[in-house]
A = this chain, B = another copy of it.
Amino acid sequence: MNTTSAHLLYVEDDESLSFVTRDQLEHYGFTVTHCPDGHSAEDAISNQLARFDCCLLDIMLPGVDGFELAQQIRAKDEHIPILFLTAKSMKEDRLKGLRTGGDDYITKPFSVEELILRIEVFLKRNRIRPATPAFDPQLLGQYQLKLEEQMLHHLPSEEGRRLTQREAELLHLLSQNRNQILERGIILERLWGKNDYFLGRSLDVFISRLRKYLQKDERLNIENIHGVGFSFQVPEG
């Protein structure tokens, strides 16, 4: 993960802007994958996300906008830095973008130098990635979660159970943040899009169900951190 050879995902529909920006970024030493629209970006995200060190997302895109892309990215990778490229005027958008993660934004028009500096800061900040792809996100102790099929298999007994979409999403999110604290608010924002009292109760119900589903492996434990959130304890390996 050498800083100067970092690989960027750059989503921008303005052809002439993207051309010059990309050129300069590459000249500076970055490897750049450019997507001219939301759909090609979705492809890159779902199949290639692990390649990237940083994502640059234009907000205003035809079809799928930058925030939606950001959500998809976050669903797959909690930590990869996202830099939004916003128009000067969009104050609410900026806020929204900043709030959903630890992400940053830069207003257009920006100088490429400024962009590069911002990227460098982000890469530096992320240079030590917290326990990421060292583990197989699908393997949970004795269990295996197949996200696409929404299936949870208990390997020793060869039993399988089909999860609902929400159950699968929640378990996946927990799995990706195993052995860390995941805040209630973040879970709610990511899965439900908002955070109110009743959704909090809903979340508790789902947690309760997942605990029941996972109880054959005693080392697995969805631990509550009072007033903060949950920590999904999964043994290493």
Contact = CB atoms under 8 A, between A and B. Distances in A.
A131 to B, nearest CB: 9
A228 B165 contact: yes
Identical chains bound together, number: 2
Contacts of A102: 121, 124-125, 130
A26 interface: no
Nearest to A128: B134
A231 B149 contact: yes
A223 B149 CA distance: 12
A2 to B, nearest CB: 14
A161 interface: no
Interface size range of chain A in the complex = 35 or more
B121 A132 contact: no
A181 interface: yes
Interface in A89-111: 91, 94-95, 98, 102-104
Contacts of A128: 133-134
A181 B129 contact: yes
Contact of A121 (B104, B134, B164): B104
A27 interface: no
Given A165-B227, A181-B149, A228-B165, A117 B134 contact: no
A180 interface: yes
A17 interface: no
Contacts of A183: 129
A102 B122 CA distance: 8
Interface of A: 91, 94-95, 98, 102-104, 113, 117, 120-121, 124-125, 127-130, 132-134, 148-150, 162, 164-165, 179-181, 183, 223, 225-228, 231
